[in-house]
Structure 1
Amino acid sequence: MSSELPDSAVSPPSGAGESTSGPSRRTVIASGVAVGGVVVAGGTLLAGAEEAPAAGTAPSSRVSLTVNGTRRTVTVDNRTSLLDLLREHFELTGSKKGCNAGACGACTVLVDGQRVNSCLTLAARLEGAEVTTIEGLADGDRLHPLQQAFVDQDAFQCGYCTPGQIMSGVGCIKEGHTGSPEEIREWMSGNICRCGCYVKIVRAVEQTVGRK
């Protein structure tokens, strides 16, 4: 089908019956489009003005939580992750930022005794929570049994994933998922070791529960 307008839709030549006292059809259409564009643009700008926060007033929350046995209170941007709170506000850098998307497990910590990916956990939602990081496992100079088992079994190479592996292992033991090497591997499968120390990591967990 042709996309051309029929002759009847085309404005007649000047003087061929076209009134000079009012705007032409073409002028009206063009004006309507222009006005419509202004209305849409105006509506968009208005909506944006209503939704955007004023400069320097990003939404924030005051949060009190216990980290490694110490009560902490801080005001943070509502978008702040637990990982960034630990590393940037509390200077607890043992928890590592690997993928920052919950896929590698390097940032694993315990929240109220449960394993979580701290990069995916909003700090603002942890009012009253108890957080344990790798820095909180040892008892003074005495290593946690799983930390010692990692040393004994040589269960690391570069060490970047090790804090998350250990925290996940502690959680795995508390949850009772240590019945076999296969079960340990399954329940720690969210923790990635690029150096490939999985066999020794499993042995370290087994040593901690008394099977090695």
Structure 2
Amino acid sequence: MILHGYWRSGTSYRTRIALNLKGLTYDQAGVDLRTGDQHSDAFLALNPQGLVPALEVDGQVLTQSPAILEWLEERFPEPPLLPTGLGERAQVRAMAALVACDIHPLNNLRVLKAVKALNGDANDWAAGWIRPGFDALEALIARHGDGWAFGDTPTLADCCLVPQIYSARRFEVDVSAWPRIAGIEARAAAHPAFQAAHPDAQPDAD
């Protein structure tokens, strides 16, 4: 497997977490979004959308992190990142989508550049989407969590949430306002799979 990603990208980060939780070995190819590597002919040949991550595996290229995470769960079912019950699986997917669909896309690099071009404050913009999203997640974790976002083991929800916590801190959002989310952050900091996936631990990190 070759993971093409950017060390600080939340979508690359969540993919690394899932790969690590599954105990999979993979190589990394850095794509520096700041310098436009994602628009090179070589990368566009892999992913015509010009976004990270892209996972080369089994003679194909997988893109879009939610699709990659679902593929990993189906291809490598142990340890599971989704619970067994149909309704419970839907709850975990909903929590993951809350981050992946409703928070992250509004504070990724492309959007922040557009905000700055309009003379907006990137931190205020990002925080304006993170805070209500975390309010909802905190309530869902209170309902379903037992140490992690859902239950007592990491799931796809945690793969998405932990990188968003990292982004929240970058945008000067005080995570202590959500004690259950802060607790997951602390638990992830002590977990080898999450430690190895952290942006600072990546070979292309500044």
Where on the TM-score scale, by shorter chain, does this alignment land: which range? Answer: under 0.3
Q: TM-score, normalised by structure 2?
A: 0.24
Greater share of strand residues, 1 or 2? 1
Larger Rg: 1
Q: TM-score, normalised by structure 1?
A: 0.23
